[in-house]
Amino acid sequence: MTLCRLSIWLPTRTLSHHPGLQCPAMTSAVDVVIVGAGQAGLSLSHELAAAGVDQVVLERGRVGETWRGRWDSFCLVIPNWTVRLPGGSYRGDDPDGFMPKREIVDHLVGYARSFQAPVREGVNVSALEPVEDGGFRLRTSAGELRAREVVLASGGYQRPHRPPAAAQLPGSAHVIDAEAYTSPDALPPGMVLVVGSGQTGCQLAEEIRQAGREVSLACGRAPWVPRRLEGRDTIAWLNETPFFDATLADLPNPSARLLANPQMSGRGGGHDLHYRTLRARGVQLLGHFAGVSEGRLRFASDLAESVAYGDARYADVCEAIRKTCLSRGVRVPEMPPPAPFDAAAPQTLELRELGAVIFTSGFRPDYSRWVGFPQAFDDMGFPLQREGSSTSVRGLHFMGVHFQRKRKSATFLGVGEDATVLAERILAGVRR
C-alpha cells in the first residue's frame, strides 16, 4: 500500500543530469526513504526497485559523496573483485587491482544510473521524528517528507574521533582530521604528526614521508596482514575462512567494533604497510599521544605493546588460514613470522618543530545529532538492530553499519548481502 501524495516538492538537484537516468518527481509522502547514496543506500535501493517499492534516496551531497571526500591519492585497500553490489559487481579488467577514488565514484554513479535509482542529491536531512499516526517525518533542506519506513544508510564513518589529549594542543597548531587531508603539499612546513595507526594513519604517514617530509606516527593497537601470501592477496585467503562472516556475538565485547582496520595498502598495485615497513621508510614511530606540557608533545611508552598486539592479530589470521586449508585438504601457504622489532622510541618532541597534526583515530556514530529516537541506540551510539532493523522502533532500519550482520557488513564485500536481507524485511513492513 502506498501513502497518498500530499503535494509536489520544490525542485531539487537530482541524478537526472547524468545521461540515461531519469527520476520521478519528488513528493511529500513515500513508502520508504533511504538516507544516503553510497554503496549501502544504493544497494538497498536496487533491491527495493526490483520489488517495485515506492521509495526515494536522499543524499546531502552527490552519489558517493564520502568517497569523493577522501584524499587525492586515495584508493581501495581491498581488491576490486570484492565490489559485489547487487546488480553492480566490478566488471573491469583488473579484479586484483585497487580502484582510485575517481573510479569508485564512477562505479557508484554508473550503478545508480543502471536501475534509475530515485536519488535526490543536495538534500540534507536535519531531523527524523515520529508522527502521531505512525511512520516518520523527515525535516530536510527541501522541506518535510513523510515515510512509512526509513533507512539510515549514512555509513559507518560519521563523526571523526579525537582522543582527549587533543584538547591540550595549542590553538595556534594546524590540526585537522583525516577527512580534511588532501595531499602533502597542502600541509604547512614542519614536522607532521599523524595520530592513529590504522589503515588511514599508516597510508598518510607513508605518503607524507615519500614527499620528503619529516613524519612521526603516534601508534595504537591495530592489526596488520601482509598484502599477499605466495602471490595471492591475503583478502582472498581470508575470504575463504570464517573471518569476514564473524558476527557481533563473536567479538569479545561490543567495543571491539571500534578496532582499526588491518594495516595494508592498495597504492601502486598493493604492498605491505605496517610498523616495520614505515620505520624502514623513515617514519618515526611513537607510543600513544599523551598530550602537551612545557612546550613538548608527550607520548606513552607503549610502542612495544602496540607492535605486539598487531603481531598477535597477524598470528590469528595465519591460524585461521591454516585451519581452513587443512579442512579443505589444500596446502597451507608459507606465512613467515614477523621480523624482530626494536621498540625504542622518544617520549617527547619539541612542539615548536610541529607543522601539522592529523588525527586518524577513527570515527564514531553520529545518529543522535539528528535522529529523534534515543532508545534506538546503545551507549556508544551504535544502532540496536537485528538484520538491519531497529529492535525498538518499528519501521526504522540501517544499512552500512559496522557488524550490522557480519564483519563485512560495512564493506563492498558484504553490503550487497545485507541489502538483500533487509529488503525482504522492509517489503514485509510495506505490505502489512
Helix (H) or strand (E) holding 177: strand 175-177
Alpha helix segments (H runs only) across 185-272: 199-210, 234-239
Please give the pLDDT value at position 6. Answer: 31
Determine the topology of domain 15-158+365-431 in CATH: FAD/NAD(P)-binding domain (3.50.50)
What's the whole-number average pLDDT of the chain? 92
Contact 8, 30 (CB under 8 A): no
Spatial separation of the C-alpha atoms in residues 330 and 29, rounded to whole Å: 56
Mean pLDDT of 164-168: 96
Distances (CA, A) of 124 to 109, 159, 330: 19, 16, 52
Q: What is the pLDDT of residue 414?
A: 96
Residue 198 CB-density burial (10 A; 0-12 exposed, 13-18 middle, 19+ buried): buried
Hey, what amino acid is at 342? D
Nearest to 388 by CA among 27, 48, 61: 48
- The mean pLDDT value for 9-16 works out to 42
pLDDT for the residue numbered 15: 52
Query: Which residue has 601539522 as its cell numbers?
Result: 356
pLDDT band at 27 (very low <50, low <70, confident <90, very high): low
Residue 3 DSSP class: P
Nine cell digits for residue 307:
607492535
Mean pLDDT of 15-20: 43
Judged by DSSP in three states, 11 sits in: coil
Average pLDDT on 196-215 reads 97
For position 12, what pLDDT does the model report?
Answer: 41
Residue 24: pLDDT above 60? no
Q: What are the φ and ψ backbone dihedral angles of 92, each rounded to 5 degrees?
A: -75, -175
pLDDT of residue 9: 40
Contact status, residue 65 vs residue 59, Cβ threshold 8 Å = yes
Residues 6+ apart with CB under 8 A from 87: 46, 50, 111, 114, 115
Radius of gyration of the chain (CA): 23
Look-up: residue for cell 607524507?
208
Residue 173 has pLDDT above 60, yes or no: yes
* Residues found in the chain: 432
**Domain definitions of the chain by residue range:** 15-158+365-431, 161-362
**Beta bridge partners of residue 271, listed in sequence order:** 265
Query: Would you state the cell numbers that stand for residue 381, as one nine-digit string?
Result: 551510539
